[in-house]
Amino acid sequence: MSTDTSPHKGAIEEHLNVMAYRGAAGAFQAGDLQTIRDTLVTDDVVWHAPGNNPLAGDIRGAEALGKWRRQVAGPRFWFREYRVFGNDEHVCALNYIGAKRDGVDVETRVVSIFHFEDARQKEPWFYPEDPDAWYRIFT
């Protein structure tokens, strides 16, 4: 018979990189660019934003990422996690990403893979299930 009365009995502790991803995701959604730049991404981060839209391409550096984030601010862009898991080098996030604004109400499932270095995002790649929805999100 177990005597453990902890409220976290049986809970699995999240990997440090998963916790760092969650912190970055929360800061990203809140538009907290200072926290992202100072503690959550490497200075030489490279985000690979896929697609054929005005915001697609490689976003290089924390400053450029902040500028890119400002361009997708507000109701133009949102995301929520379905599942997140990781190890010492990578985090994989299964997300729903979408946009809701005048004339646009769309979402798609996205597999996001983040390479981490010292608990900071170094290089992420995004793989949307529906490229047409992805295009509409970022135009």
Architecture of domain 16-137: Roll (3.10)
DSSP H or E segment with residue 128: strand 120-128
C-alpha–C-alpha distance, residues 73 and 29, integer Å: 8
- pTM here is 0.84
Q: Which two tokens stand for residue 18?
A: 């998963």
Contact between 139 and 53 under an 8 Å Cβ cutoff? The reply is yes
C-alpha–C-alpha distance, residues 115 and 118, integer Å: 10
The domain spans of the chain are: 16-137
Reading the chain (139 residues) residue by residue, the pLDDT tens digits are 444 444 545 556 789 999 999 998 888 888 888 888 888 899 999 999 999 988 899 999 988 988 888 887 665 678 889 999 999 999 999 999 998 888 889 999 999 999 999 999 999 999 999 999 999 888 8
C-alpha–C-alpha distance, residues 52 and 41, integer Å: 25
Distance of CA 55 to CAs 34, 47, 71, Å?
A: 21, 11, 8
